[in-house]
Amino acid sequence: MKLTNSDTEKECRADLIDSKKYLMESEKGQHVLKHARKICGDIKTIYALSHTPEQGEDIFRVLVNGERIFGFDLQDEAGQFEAFNITTYSLKEYERLLTGKMGKLMLAIALDLSKGDMQVDN
């Protein structure tokens, strides 16, 4: 998907940057990172493509290192956050699951941000 710097894209980009900050700095975000590291290893960059808070759990889909998507439900079990329903997707697999334009746009922008993050790290 070609990015055109539209207002919608700017809003999505800001949301993704906020999601990275949330994952890196919040208490719950630290639990997300801990579980993501168990599966993905070293994390250089991470963006939440979706985060759905529900009663007793939060459902996350995150792009890790611009390479793959990690999905799981984060549940609070007596003060200990545990990951359940863990899935990993290649970029191609995840793209095939997306049916709406907004999901595809979020993925394209997250990939662009990840690419920029990875260039800064090198």
* Beta-bridge partners for 54: 57
CB atoms within 10 A of CB 62: 25
pTM of structure: 0.88
* Beta-bridge partners for 62: 48, 70
DSSP annotation of 76 reads E
pLDDT above 60 (res 122): no
d(CA 21, CA 108): 19
pLDDT at residue 28, rounded to an integer: 84
Residue tagged 């595809």 (tokens): 104
Tell me the per-residue pLDDT of 16-42, one tens digit each, with 9 for 90 and over.
Answer: 999 999 999 988 888 888 888 888 888
pLDDT at residue 49, rounded to an integer: 95
Residue tagged 């710097």 (tokens): 5
